[in-house]
Structure 1
Amino acid sequence: MIYSSLLKVASKRQARVGVGVGDPSTLSRVVSGVRQVLDKAEVVLVGRPGLEENVEGVPFYPSEEPEKKLLELLVSGEVEGAVRGGLSASTFLKHVKAIFNVAKVLRVALLEDKSGHQFMFAPVGIDEGEGVDEKVSLAAGAADFLRKINLTPKIAVVSGGRLSDSGRSPKVDKSIREAEEAVARLKEKGYDAEHYQILIEDAVADKRNIIVAPDGISGNLIYRTLIHLGLGKSYGAVYLNVPKPIIDTSRAAPPNEYAGAVIMATAAKSLQNQE
């Protein structure tokens, strides 16, 4: 199991992790999740002034710009990992791109279906996974992450149709071509990768531990369907192309996602220390 491997890595050393809290509607879920892992990490919360009145027992940094403040704490070393928590996605991403000088972020989420099968999943951002290069980068980044925690990556690339559907739609044709090319490139790099066409259920049945969706919009919808409608779980999404441990979460997430994100941030910091 991927999460149990992350827990093992995280348990080697407590990290100081900053977690963002948004408006009062997300505060209780974020704090509930954080309290589940206070024995695994030293957590500080970052949010707008006034929210600290509803938090006890966890250090709180008030800021009128909590998205920027959380990342400043990370860059300065006051925290060793950052979890977006309940903060605004667009504002947080804007500051990530500016501070770390990246044009686009690449994130890979850790998901679990109702049977307990866990897999790294991407893209989850609606503007991510565009084109073959980004698909390969996401899959390879997820594979390298799994290798660092001593797991063997098995990649499934999903497209917009079966091979027999070629010719029905230019959009479907493009999706199939990109998936085929992505798999070919990944195999050239030595990864175990297969094109599962539109049959994501077969990828799960075959226990593939990395799944790459056709694009960011479909990936985001798959995440929402699994987590909010399909009795699945999420443990956060790691940023692949920034030098500091940053874990993304949904503002609509249940508490376990915030708890898992803190563990992932702690494990990511431990892995960096080993390099």
Structure 2
Amino acid sequence: MIKIAVGIGKNKDVIKACEAFKKENSNVEIITVENDNDLVKAILDDDVNAVVRGSLPASSVMKELKSKFSNISRATYINGNNMEFLLTPVGIDEGSTVEDKLKIAIHCGEFLKKQSKIPKIAVMASGRKGDYGRSEEISKSIDESNELTKLIKENTDFEVINHYILIEKAIKDNCNIIIAPNGIIGNIIFRTLVLVNSWPSCGAVTFGINGIYIDTSRDQNIKGYLRSLKLAYKLANII
């Protein structure tokens, strides 16, 4: 029996998703959680196979996890329009340094390799290569993207390409890991693709913890929560 704990907040679509998921999977026990503290306890509980945030707020959960684990990062799993990739960083306070993004890149690559997939990383910046010098902020972002690309090549065997600001080329090039310049931009990309343009997302996978935690949006719909439950179930069976 696979035990999955799910957070229940104001958006009750997650309850409907749980009911639909249980009908499809008879070997799953859904444990509903109604506050942040119990959600953290479920993540730390070895008897719980996976945890889905559902519609509970996330800030206090991540704060508590970061106090217990020093190497946490997240990436949103997007699989829409015949595309499938991890988008990261997506937390507005994540990916502020090159070192942070290198750690995230390694986590994402190792995660895909566990699923027998070959990592292909797109590093993003706040401008094209030829935009260097247009502003101090743009130049700094381009410098960091070049440095990150170099470090990924030096520290991994992953394929990596600096696509600068051209995310459309990164997606067309079938990159399965897209690293935004920072968490704020990553969060905006996520909201544009998933919440505005309705690209399917399985939620954000959390790396650097002992258990499986899928961080979902409070604004997701039934289908979105159902995808997150399916991902949690899949990971509980292979990791």
Measured against the shorter chain, the TM-score band is over 0.9
Contact 1:71 1:82 in 2 (8 A): no
Q: Aligned match of 1:88 in 57, 80, 84?
A: 57
Contact 2:8 2:33 in 1 (8 A): yes
Q: Aligned match of 1:231 in 178, 194, 198?
A: 198
In structure 2, what is the Cα distance between the partners aligned to 1:101 and 1:140?
Answer: 17
Q: For structure 2, which runs of at least 5 residues remain unmatched after alignment? A: none
CA shift, 1:147, in A, is 0.8
Contact 2:69 2:208 in 1 (8 A): no
- Secondary structure (helix, strand or coil) at the match of 2:9 reads coil
In structure 2, what is the Cα distance between the partners aligned to 1:129 and 1:76?
Answer: 28
CA shift, 1:121, in A, is 0.8
Contact 1:20 1:70 in 2 (8 A): yes
Contact 2:125 2:165 in 1 (8 A): yes
CA RMSD of aligned residues (A): 1.6
In structure 2, what is the Cα distance between the partners aligned to 1:180 and 1:36?
Answer: 46
Contact 1:235 1:256 in 2 (8 A): no
Aligned pairs (5 A) from 1:104-253 = 105-113=72-80, 115-188=81-154, 189-253=156-220
Aligned pairs (5 A) from 1:61-76 = 66-76=35-45
The answer on 1:268 being equivalent to 2:230 is no
Match in the other structure for 1:10:
none
In structure 1, what is the Cα distance between the partners aligned to 2:101 and 2:42?
Answer: 31
- Secondary structure (helix, strand or coil) at the match of 1:194 reads strand
Q: For structure 1, which runs of at least 5 residues remain unmatched after alignment? A: 1-13, 48-65
TM-score, length-normalised on structure 1?
0.81
In structure 1, what is the Cα distance between the partners aligned to 2:66 and 2:176?
Answer: 28
Match in the other structure for 2:32:
45
CA shift, 1:265, in A, is 2.2
In structure 2, what is the Cα distance between the partners aligned to 1:119 and 1:220?
Answer: 15
Moved over 4 A (4+): none
Aligned pairs (5 A) from 1:5-16 = 15-16=2-3
- Secondary structure (helix, strand or coil) at the match of 1:130 reads coil
Q: Aligned match of 1:255 in 222, 226, 230?
A: 222
One-letter amino acid of the structure 2 residue matched with residue 155 of structure 1: I
Write out per-residue CA displacement over residues 155-183 of structure 1, whole angstroms, 9 at most, x where no aligned residue: 10111001110011111111111111111
One-letter amino acid of the structure 1 residue matched with residue 64 of structure 2: H
CA shift, 1:146, in A, is 0.8
TM-score, length-normalised on structure 2?
0.92
In structure 2, what is the Cα distance between the partners aligned to 1:237 and 1:184?
Answer: 26
CA shift, 1:133, in A, is 1.0
Greater mean deviation of Cα atoms: 177-186 or 215-224:
177-186
- Secondary structure (helix, strand or coil) at the match of 1:156 reads strand
CA shift, 1:264, in A, is 2.3
Could you tell me the percent identity over the aligned residues?
34
CA shift, 1:267, in A, is 2.8
- Secondary structure (helix, strand or coil) at the match of 1:36 reads helix
- Secondary structure (helix, strand or coil) at the match of 1:244 reads coil
In structure 2, what is the Cα distance between the partners aligned to 1:207 and 1:183?
Answer: 17
